[in-house]
Structure 1
Amino acid sequence: MATFLGSSRGGFALRRGRGRGGRAPFFTTTRKPMEPDLEKHPLGDLIKEFHSSDLSSKLIDLAEISDCQYVASYNWLNDEVPTIVIPGKPPQWTPLHAPQRLKEDSGQYFRDPNAAKYPDYPMAPVVHAVVEADPEFDAASTDLFACGSTLGNLLRFARGIDKAFRFNVEVVGETVFFIRKENHPKEVIKDIRGFGHTFPEAYTTWEHSVEGSETHQRIVRYEFGGLDCLVRFESDGYFREAPAVNHTAPAKTTVNQDDLLHAFQSAAISHPSNTAISKPDALKIKHGGSAVPQQCIFDLKTRSGRRKRDIDMSDIYPALWIKQISNFIVAYHDGSGLFEDIRVQNVKNDVQAWAGDNRDGIRRFATLLDRIVDIARSNASKLLEVCCFGTDRLEIRNQYEDGVHALPADLVDRWKKTKMGVVSAQGDGSDEFEHGDGGIGVDDRYDLDTNSDDSSSEPDYTACSAHDCGYCGKCTY
C-alpha cells in the first residue's frame, strides 16, 4: 500500500539563466498546458475575460506590499481524524553537525494538504485559526483571503507567463475568498525525485508541544494595491534567531553521533496514518505550540549540486515576495543524498530588488486582483471561478450549477460576525474540542524532472501552503 505523506514538499524542473526574473515577455509559453478535468468539474457561464496586455490600460499606481503582520497559524497533525493545533509551531532548524547520507524520497505527496485532510471545506481550518487567535478580529475590513498558490498563479499570469490553473471564488461578508482547486483533493505530485522531504526531516525538528505535526500553515496580513489581504502559506521552518541580511552560513562539520542517529531514523520513518479523510464530519481543534515572528521563518529548497551551478533564484523570489519571507535555505546534494553545501541566507534585499525589476508585472497583478474582487462583490451568486487554461486568457465564470462553498454555514456566520467585540473565543477553556463543519508552493524542493537544464520551464506556483509551486500544481507559493 502506498504511503501518502501529507506534505506539500514538491517541486519543479529547475529553470536557469534569468537573473532576478525581470520583465517576462508577453506571452511566454513554458510548457504544455495542463488538462483540467472538465467532466468532473464543468465550466459555468462566462462573466469576464482578461488578457495580460489588457491589464496595462489602467494600472494601479501603488503596487507594493506594506504593513505585513503575522495573524495566526496552525499545524496539521498526523491523525486519522482531521486535527489541527492552534497556533502550532513550525519545525525548528536543527542542522546536523556532520553530513549524513540520506535516503531518497519515497511515497506520494499531496499537492494541497489542506484539501487532502479536509476536502469539503479546506478553508475552514484557516478561518478557525484566525478567529481563535483573535476573537475581536475585524473581518469586515478584510478585502481578500487567499493562499500563496492562488496569488502565485495570478502573479504569473500578470507577468505574461503561460501556466494553466483554476480556483474558486466566494464572497463571505465583505471578504472575497480564493479557494485552491485541483482536479481531486487527493491529487498527488508525480515523478518525485530527490530529497525534498528526507532532508527537512533530518535537519529540522518538531518540538514537543507540536509533536506529531505534518505541516505548519501561517496567515499574514498586509496591504497591497489598495486591498487588505490575508494570505495563507506553508512554512518550512524557523530559526531561533533570524540570520542577518546577506549572511550565508555553511553547514557544520563537527561530528555528533546523536545527530547522525536522528538523521538516520528520521529519513527511514514513514507515516502511514497521514491519509486524507474522504467525508469529514468534524474538525478536531487542539491548542498548543506558540507564535513565531515572521522574521524567523524560512523557506527551504534542495537541489543537485553535481553540475556546480547555483539555484536560479528568479523562480524563488516571487514566492518569497508573496509570503513576505526573508530567510532562504538551499541545500545541494551530491546525487546520492549527501549534503555538504548548505547555504543559510537572508535574501530580503534580493527580493526587494526582484520586485523593483518586475514593477510593471506587479502593477498588472494588483490591477487584476482589484478587478476580480470588484466582479466578485457585484455578482449576485457570490460563487465564481477563475480559469486559465494555458493561453493568454483568464476567464471569470459562474461556478457550475449550485457551486462549492468555501465554508460551512456556521463558520460563514461566525466570519460575518467577527468584528470588534462581537465574537468571543469558542471553547470551554480546555485545550481540545471538536467543531462540526457540516461536511500555503507545493513547494519546489524535489527534483521532479531529470531534465533540469530546460531553461524554458517555469515553476508551477500552485502550496499553498506550500508546494507544485507553481504551495503549489507543481509549485505552490
Structure 2
Amino acid sequence: MANVGTEPSANGITDAKMALTNESNLSARLDSLSLQQISDTKKFVVPARRNRPRHSRDDRMLWGTSNLISKIHVEPQPAERRAEIGREASAPVKIQNHKYVASYNWKDIEHPTIYVPGLSRPFPRYNNNVHTNPTAGIPPKFTPPSLPIQLQKDNSTRSSARSPAAPVDPLFQAILQERPDFDMSSIDIVTTRRSLRDLLDFASCSTGKWRIDIDMVHNTMFINQWEEFRLMLINGRQNTEYGHTFEDSVVNKEAPLEDSLNHERIVEYELGGLKFLVRFEADAYLEDDDSETREPMKIPLSDPPAPKPSPVILKPPYKLVHVISRGRNVDPELIIELKSCSRGSINMGRTVPQLWFSQTKHLVVGYHKDGLVTRDLDMREMTEELDKWEADNQKQLKSMIHVIKSIRDIARTGDRKLTVVCSMVDGLKCLSVYRRTGRGMTIRPEVVAQCWKNSSTS
C-alpha cells in the first residue's frame, strides 16, 4: 500500500490542545508572580516553541486521509489518437441551459453575515436569447474613474475566515431565501469556478499542486476547495500587487450595501451530460439602459441584530450564517470581470476559461506601470471569444468531464468522503484519490430534508 501522510489522531489533537492550554495557564501564573518568586521557582518553565516540528505543504495536503484508492492520469496523446478520441466522442462539450439561481454579499462584520435578495421579481428587460431567472444580488457598479490614477499596492489578502465549520451554509441560505422550492435532487455536481479551473488545468496537463475534498449528499457530489488548517476562506485570494486596489478604484458600492465585501453568485448549467451548480465571485456590473426607471432598493432603518461572534467549533451547533434580506435586481448579462495588467498584454489563456465557467460576457482590463493608470480602460464584449475558446478546447473539456465522472463513480460506490490530490507521480501528472477520515462536510439536516425532497437514495 502506498505510504501516505495522515493528520494527527483525535487523541493527538486533544493532547495538543491540552498542552497549549497548560502552557497558556502556566504563562498566566508566571505573570502573577513577582520577579523574586520567579527566580526562586525552578519548576515553572515555559516550553520552547522553536523545536516544534514543521510540516511541508505536501504533508499537510495529505492530512485527514487514509489509504490510496485510485490514481487518475491524463497523458498527452499523439495526433492520431486525438483524432480517434474525437470520433469516439463526437458530441461537443458545451454549456447548456445556463440559469441564475441565487446570489449574496458578504457583510463586513466578524460574525459570518450575508445580504441576500428577497423573492424573485421580473428583470426590467428581457431577452429571449438570455436564460434569466428574475432576482440577482448586487455586485459593485462599474464606475470608470477620471485618469490618470495612482494605485496603491495591495497589502494582503482581503479575505477572512468565515463559517469555517459550514462552508456551504451561505450557498444554501441564499438558495433557500430566493428559491425555496429549488430541487437539489437533479444536481450532479456542486462546486466553485476555481475548482473547475483546477480540474481543467489537470486535463490540459498543466503544472500545479492542489487538493479538493469530495462529499456525497444523496446522489449529488460536492467538490470543496481545501484550505490550510480546514479554514474555508471565502473567496481567498493571493496578493496580486495592484489587483485589489484597481478593483476598488473602478467600482462604486451602492447604498445600502456599502459595508459589503465579496459578491458571490450561484448558477446552474448542463455540461458533458452532468448538471452543475457553480459558485463564483462577480467583480462588478455594467449600468444598463433602464437604470433610470428601475425600482430603487428599500433601505431599512436598521439591520436585524447579528449574533455575537462565536468561536469556531467543528460539530453542531456550529457557527451559522446570519442572513439579512437586502438587494435589488441585476441582469446576469451585465456582470463583468475586472483585471489589471502591468506587463504587455493580459494572459487570455488563463482569463478566458475563468469567464467561460461562469459565463461572464464582459471583461474590463486596466493597464498600469508601477500602479499608474494612464490609458483608457480596455472594455471587451467576450461572447465570440468564449464561443471560439469552447470550440478550440473540446479535447481538454472532454478529458475534464471524464475525470469528474471518474471521481464521481468512486464516490458513489461506497467511499462517499474522498480527498483528491493533484501532483507529479513518477514523472506524470496524477490525481491521487484517497479515502478521507474524520467528519464529513457540515450541512444542516433540515437543509438536506428541504433541498433533496425528491431523493430516494442516501
Structure 1 outlier segments of 4+, above 6 Å: 54-58
**Contact residue 61 and residue 363 of structure 1 kept, 8 A:** no
Offset at 1:215?
0.3
Give the number of equivalent residue pairs.
Answer: 344
Q: Map 1:177-326 to 2 at 5 A.
A: 177-184=222-229, 185=231, 192-241=239-288, 278-279=312-313, 281-304=319-342, 307=343, 309-326=344-361
Q: 1:145 to 1:84 in 2, by over 3 A?
A: same
2:15: which partner in 1?
Answer: none
Offset at 1:158?
0.8
1:136: which partner in 2?
Answer: 181
Q: Which of residues 64, 68, 73 is equivalent to 2:94? A: 64
| Residue 416, structure 1, aligned to residue 452, structure 2 | yes
**Contact residue 165 and residue 389 of structure 1 kept, 8 A:** yes
Offset at 1:416?
2.2
SS of the residue corresponding to residue 228 of structure 2 reads coil
Distance in 2 between the 1:292 and 1:367 partners?
A: 35
Offset at 1:161?
1.0
| Residue 105, structure 1, aligned to residue 105, structure 2 | no
Distance in 2 between the 1:36 and 1:411 partners?
A: 35
Q: Map 1:396-475 to 2 at 5 A.
A: 396-399=433-436, 401-417=437-453
Distance in 2 between the 1:54 and 1:411 partners?
A: 43
| Residue 351, structure 1, aligned to residue 386, structure 2 | yes
Q: 1:291 to 1:336 in 2, by over 3 A?
A: same
1:44: which partner in 2?
Answer: 66
TM-score (norm 2): 0.69
Q: 389-398 or 291-300, which moves further after superposition? A: 389-398
**Contact residue 75 and residue 86 of structure 1 kept, 8 A:** yes
Distance in 2 between the 1:143 and 1:186 partners?
A: 22
2:43: which partner in 1?
Answer: none
Q: Map 1:311-390 to 2 at 5 A.
A: 311-378=346-413, 380-390=414-424
1:126: which partner in 2?
Answer: 171
Distance in 2 between the 1:367 and 1:59 partners?
A: 11
Greater gyration radius: 2
Distance in 1 between the 2:188 and 2:167 partners?
A: 19
Offset at 1:406?
4.3
Amino acid at match of 1:74: Y
Distance in 2 between the 1:175 and 1:54 partners?
A: 31
SS of the residue corresponding to residue 41 of structure 1 reads coil
For residues 152-192 of structure 1, what are the alpha-carbon distances to aligned partners after superposition, in whole Å with 9 as ceiling and x for unaligned? Answer: 111111111121111111111221111110223277756x3
Structure 2, unpaired ranges of 5+: 1-55, 118-136, 290-308
**Contact residue 61 and residue 211 of structure 2 kept, 8 A:** no
Distance in 2 between the 1:345 and 1:351 partners?
A: 12
TM-score (norm 1): 0.67
Amino acid at match of 2:268: R
**Contact residue 210 and residue 422 of structure 2 kept, 8 A:** yes
Q: Which of residues 384, 387, 393 is equivalent to 2:430? A: 393
1:435: which partner in 2?
Answer: none
Q: 1:292 to 1:276 in 2, by over 3 A?
A: farther
Distance in 2 between the 1:343 and 1:418 partners?
A: 47
- Root-mean-square deviation (Å): 2.6
Distance in 2 between the 1:325 and 1:154 partners?
A: 19
Amino acid at match of 1:398: R
For residues 93-147 of structure 1, what are the alpha-carbon distances to aligned partners after superposition, in whole Å with 9 as ceiling and x for unaligned? Answer: 011133322322213344xx6xx21111111111111122111112111111110
Amino acid at match of 2:451: W
Distance in 2 between the 1:179 and 1:282 partners?
A: 18
SS of the residue corresponding to residue 128 of structure 1 reads helix
Offset at 1:39?
7.7
Structure 1, unpaired ranges of 5+: 1-33, 243-274, 420-477
SS of the residue corresponding to residue 115 of structure 2 reads strand
**Contact residue 163 and residue 320 of structure 2 kept, 8 A:** no
Offset at 1:339?
4.3
1:80: which partner in 2?
Answer: 110
Report % sequence identity.
29
Distance in 1 between the 2:217 and 2:90 partners?
A: 25
Offset at 1:371?
2.1
SS of the residue corresponding to residue 385 of structure 2 reads helix
Offset at 1:62?
3.6
**Contact residue 93 and residue 237 of structure 1 kept, 8 A:** yes
